[in-house]
Amino acid sequence: MTKPIIRIDKVSKKFCRSMRRSLYYGLLDMGSELIGRERNYLNLRKDEFWAVKDISFEVQPGETVGLIGHNGAGKTSLLRMLGGLILPDTGKININGRVQALIALGAGFNPVLTGRENIYINASLMGFSKKEINKRFDEIVSFSGLSEFLDMPVQSYSSGMVVRLGFSVAAFLEPDVLLIDEVLSVGDLAFRTKCQVRIQELKNKGVSIIIVSHNLHTISHLCPRSIALEKGKVIYDGDTESAIDIYRLSLLKTYEQYNDFIRGGTGEITIQELEILNENEEKQTIFDVGDKVKIRLYYHTNTLVKNPVFNVVIHILNSHQVTGIRTDVDGIPTGDFEGDGYVDIEFQKFNLLPNAYTFDAVIFHSDGYTFYDRKNNANHLVVRGGNEINGIAYLDHSWKIN
């Protein structure tokens, strides 16, 4: 059986929310170590919390693994421990090979030295001889695209130039293990594309890679296996598509916990509930791409309301608007409303790509501007399966090749 290149065994790490108290605890711990008193790593002191708790997994040689989870789930803390930047409080980490960490690119550069000097210094600190650096130097410079700025001090570089140089140094030293933290979200489109190509080349050469990213398309493309984290713990370890589905459900759970409804308006007609129904008119929140979906908006009137405008807006969870649907834009006359009732919006094929989506509901006056009522984040659904394409929607189409 192949020996794992990375083995993580019951690793935990705690931090303190208060900087002042953290410094105080640090002094106490140093004092305890000096007098030979053993620290109690298992108990949390005031303002401390577990960033990572009892995590265990293995990575095989040549395997590419994604780490996904919402902000604060413990991804970066785990990656920093793997890179040796911080030590775990409990548990063990064993890595059999040379590690390269693409975390906070350029943070170790000396600003008063030139780009050329920083390449040699950083590569030397990573354990490479001058001969090995010389062998890779031209590739590093060419990839960075900074040849004309190479003999300028790094303090004169823009933040994008620093990122270019940092990635170029790290990615061309061909380690046994490559750790990547949101690198593919920086730089311009051309440079991000070059980074993806380079990562794929390293993957093909058998480098073991762990990637932290909120870009689920990147994770899906590069990682056959992914680990989903929530509040410092592993909630799933397995195939990437299942991990992404579980991560989205975790996001929605966290989102609902802190969700605030924004209400307002003149109040003559109000929104009672927004339901999401399947083709059998049963409540459902998880759909596949192309499923039939019905949105049902329940209302209550306090008086006669003439020609209200109904509006439902769809957002990607915690992100931008996908579309807005309005009765006035669609040319739908609504007429007079009294009492209680509902209006339906039917999608014969809900062709949004896999993601988590939220719905806002608004009822406007007939002027289409003043609103009777609005309810932000009135409901949500998760789309899964379908074609993994980077973007928002799947457009039904056909090919003809001559």
- According to the model, what pLDDT value does residue 224 have? 92
- If 0-12 CB within 10 Å is exposed, 13-18 middle and 19+ buried, where does residue 363 land? buried
What percent of the chain has pLDDT above 70?
Answer: 92
What percent of the chain has pLDDT above 90?
Answer: 44
- According to the model, what pLDDT value does residue 269 have? 95
Question: Residue for token digits 């509901």?
Answer: 361
- If 0-12 CB within 10 Å is exposed, 13-18 middle and 19+ buried, where does residue 74 land? buried
Q: What average pLDDT does this structure show over 60-78?
A: 91
Segment 27-62, tens digit of pLDDT: 777 777 777 676 666 778 888 888 999 999 999 999
Calpha distance 156→165 (Å, rounded): 13
Structure tokens at 377: 């984040």
Q: Tell me: pLDDT of 119 over 80.
A: yes
Q: What average pLDDT does this structure show over 332-342?
A: 94
Output the average pLDDT for the chain.
Answer: 86
The region, left, alpha or beta by phi > 0 then psi within -120 to 50, assigned to residue 356 is: beta
- According to the model, what pLDDT value does residue 185 have? 63
Q: What average pLDDT does this structure show over 192-200?
A: 82
Domains, the chain:
6-255 (3.40.50.300), 269-384 (2.70.50.60)
6-20, 118-132, 217-231, 342-356: which has the minimum mean pLDDT? 118-132
- According to the model, what pLDDT value does residue 218 have? 81
pLDDT class of 220 with cuts at 50, 70, 90: confident
Tell me if 147 sits within 8 A of 114, measured CB to CB.
no
Question: Residue for token digits 């030397």?
Answer: 124
Q: What average pLDDT does this structure show over 194-211?
A: 87
Q: Is 302 helix (H, G, I), strand (E, B) or coil?
A: coil
User: CA distances (Å), 397 to each of 290, 389, 394, 400, in order?
Assistant: 13, 14, 9, 10
Q: What average pLDDT does this structure show over 327-336?
A: 94
- If 0-12 CB within 10 Å is exposed, 13-18 middle and 19+ buried, where does residue 348 land? exposed
Q: Give the CA radius of gyration of the chain.
A: 27
Phi and psi, residue 227, nearest 5°: -120, 120
- According to the model, what pLDDT value does residue 129 have? 85
Angle, helices 130-144 vs 115-125, to 10°: value is 130
Q: Tell me: pLDDT of 201 over 90.
A: no
Structure tokens at 182: 């949101």
- According to the model, what pLDDT value does residue 257 have? 58
Q: Tell me: pLDDT of 258 over 90.
A: no
Q: Tell me: pLDDT of 187 over 80.
A: no
Tell me if 73 sits within 8 A of 3, measured CB to CB.
no
pLDDT class of 388 with cuts at 50, 70, 90: low
Q: Tell me: pLDDT of 6 over 90.
A: yes
Of residues 262 and 199, more confidence is placed in 199
Q: Is 22 helix (H, G, I), strand (E, B) or coil?
A: helix
pLDDT class of 355 with cuts at 50, 70, 90: confident
Of residues 97 and 236, more confidence is placed in 236
- According to the model, what pLDDT value does residue 13 have? 92
Q: Cα 245 to the chain's mean position, in Å?
A: 13
Q: Is 380 helix (H, G, I), strand (E, B) or coil?
A: strand
0.85 cut: is pTM over it? no
Helix then strand then coil, % of the chain, to nearest 5: 30, 35, 40
- According to the model, what pLDDT value does residue 227 have? 96
Structure tokens at 118: 């920083």
